[in-house]
Structure 1
Amino acid sequence: MKIKKIGQILFCFYKNNEQLYSLTKRTIGLGMLLSRLLNERYKSKPIEFLNLMFLDEESYENDQRKIKGYNAIAGPAMSYYGVLDIEMYLQLAEEDKNALIWKMACEYIIKTAENHSNKDLVDACKYAYETGVSLNYCTDLQGISSELILFGKVIKSEIVFRFEDEKVTAFLILRNEDKVVFDKPLHKTDADVGAFFYVFKEIVSVGNIILIKGPKNASIFPMTVTISAEDLMG
């Protein structure tokens, strides 16, 4: 199993010195995407937590303890205090919000890495930035997968997590010869419920019924999904 060198990335927003946690929840998927892409290249000392702060000017004026541009890598944690016009940000279309936060977050990480002589992190972040742009900031997260036999056909199955607003939904995806033939939601929860991304343990077929397994103490399991031969035609 590949060891992750970059852990959780959180974007924290403040307006008039008041934390806007709803904006953090809306960007959890973006933070997870950035962490995944950084892990594809970063090989140096682990950084378990990256807290990137987006504060408006009033937040700095009202709290002298907060310093614009302050950055640090202390033990397993990294932090950066940046400036964001929250009112302007809220007026943007969703894709423009993603592009702005992505650009600023990568700039923050690169500045911090340069200040602490971490060239590996600089290079990994430049790669992550370009890759995220090419993916159009798609935050879909692939979970478990397996091959099933349904109606005599070999069908590839997978769980995919998709983010929307402050929520995340787990979808069951079925592919017949690499063509998506089934794409349906299974369960939705708040985006900041970290355990949700690990509760789906196994996808199996019993006859022509799909059974999705998870922890015995989780009330949503086991999940059963009935499939028809027509479903597999796409």
Structure 2
Amino acid sequence: MAASLSGLRATSLQVKNLDLYEACEYAYKKGLENGLNPDYRMLEADVVVHGEFLKAALWVNFDQAFMNANFTLEKDGTVIFSKFIDKARLGSEFFLEMYKKIEVKNDTIIIKGHRDVEYLPLKILIDTNT
């Protein structure tokens, strides 16, 4: 939701529709006041690691000034592994689009993305204790 709202805000400025922009801002602020959780999974995949079926997800978590990319592995709806990946200032559209795919090879998670991001592909070795 936050990404589409951010895109709508950007579009409203492009088309010079200030009423729409103000409505987006109002809706976002009211949502936060009412407990809206703007965090969302920007990528997810069903994976097999060490013979176990897991849900891998790359989240965007929002705070006051930044968007954070966090990787999680879930088993039966419970997070069993979490890793901070990166952060960017709020409104950075590229950050929301730079991650492309989650894969597994030899019990290593591989997060693929835009070729201009120097740390991608990112490899995360999952040990058997996870």
| Alignment TM-score, normalising by the size of structure 2 | 0.78
Does the C-alpha gap of structure 1 residues 226 and 131 become closer, same or farther in structure 2, counting only changes over 3 Å?
Answer: same
Pick from 49, 57, 70: which aligns with 2:12? 49
- For residue 8 of structure 2, what is the aligned residue in structure 1? 8
1:18-76: CA deviation from partner (whole Å, max 9, x where unpaired): xxxxxxxxxxxxxxxxxxxxxxxxxxxxxx316xxxxxxxxxxxxxxxxxxxxxxxx67
Which one of 147, 153, 177 corresponds to residue 46 of structure 2? 147
Q: Which has the higher strand share?
A: 2
Within 5 Å, give how 1:83-98 maps onto structure 2.
none
The SS at the match of 1:229 is coil
Q: CA deviation at 1:169?
A: 1.0
Cα–Cα, structure 1 residues 157 and 79, in superposed 2: closer, same or farther, change >3 Å?
Answer: same
Q: Aligned pair 1:105/2:18, yes or no? A: no
Query: How many percent identity over aligned positions?
Result: 18
Residues 190 and 78 (structure 1), Cα distance of their counterparts in 2 relative to 1, 3 Å cut: same
Q: Which amino acid aligns with 1:77?
A: N
Counterpart for residue 210 of structure 1 = 109
CA RMSD of aligned residues (A): 3.3
Runs of at least 4 residues of structure 1 off by over 2 A?
A: 4-10, 75-82, 129-133
1:134-173 maps to which residues of 2 (within 5 A)? 136-173=35-72
What whole-Å deviation, never above 9, does each CA across 1:87-136 have from its counterpart, x for those lacking one? xxxxxxxxxxxxxxx9x814xxxxxxxxxxxxxxxxxxxxxx67982xx1
Distance 2:62 2:31 in 1: 21
Please state how far the C-alpha of 1:227 moved relative to its aligned partner: 0.9
Structure 2 counterpart of 1:105, one-letter code: Y
Per the alignment, do residues 192 and 131 of structure 1 end up closer, same or farther by CA in structure 2, a change over 3 Å counting?
Answer: closer
Structure with higher Rg: it is 1
Shift of the alpha carbon at 1:139?
1.9
Q: CA offsets per residue over residues 168-223 of structure 1, 9 Å max, x none?
A: 11000111122111122111122221110111100000111100001222212010
Which residues of structure 1 form unaligned runs of 5+?
11-47, 51-74, 83-101, 107-128
Provide the residue aligned with 1:77 in structure 2: 17
In 1, Cα distance between equivalents of 2:6 and 2:95: 20
Residue of structure 2 in register with 1:183 after alignment? 82
* Distance of aligned partners of 1:105 and 1:229 in 2 relative to their CA distance in 1, 3 Å threshold: same
SS at 1:9's partner residue? helix
Q: 1:81 to 1:132 in 2, by over 3 A?
A: closer
Assess if the C-alpha contact under 8 Å between 1:140 and 1:162 holds in 2: yes
Count residues in correspondence.
125
Give the TM-score normalised by structure 1. Answer: 0.46
Q: Which runs of 5+ in 2 are unaligned?
A: none
Secondary structure of 2:95's partner? Answer: helix
